Amino acid sequence: MKRNIIHAITCALFTALILSSCQNSDQTNQAEINKTPRELESFFPGNINEADSIEIMSGSDGSRKMTTDPQLIQDWIEKVRHLKIVLNPLQEDTTGVLFHVTLFKQEEVLFYMVPTNINHHPIEPHSELANLMTELYKTLK
């Protein structure tokens, strides 16, 4: 009787070990597949040119700036829309960010980004995006 119990426990542990090994392997393969660069605008739900306002919040002090200037919005969108973004589902959570940028259409949130996350999808940190966010923040009054 004891021998059957020990055998059953050993089989269960061995099965659990095999299943956990397979799970880690699948996550690594999925991360490798998602490393294909995509343009930032491909993450936008619909037409990115429909944005009619932008809000940017400083991660350092929480101050917010907003614009509804159509020319400024379109100029900034043109600068960021073709940036190559690489998803990184294994990206560790970061504490604090330089800026949060939110695009709106008629006061409805359409799109959210920080240099390490686009629409709540972790991405590899993107210094050019961070620089363009800094430029936008400095441009707005």
Q: Which residues of 103-114 are buried (b: 16+ CB within 10 A; e: fewer)?
A: bbeeeeebbebb
Q: Return all residues near 70 (Cβ < 8 A) that are at least 6 apart.
A: 52
Residues 114, 129: Cα–Cα separation, whole Å: 8
Tokens of 60: 């350092």
Residue whose entry in the numeric block shows the structure tokens 């961070």 = 130
Tens place of pLDDT per residue across the chain (141 aa): 667 676 566 655 555 546 555 554 444 445 455 578 999 999 888 889 999 999 999 988 999 999 999 999 999 999 999 999 999 877 666 555 789 999 999 999 999 999 888 988 889 988 999 999 999 999 998
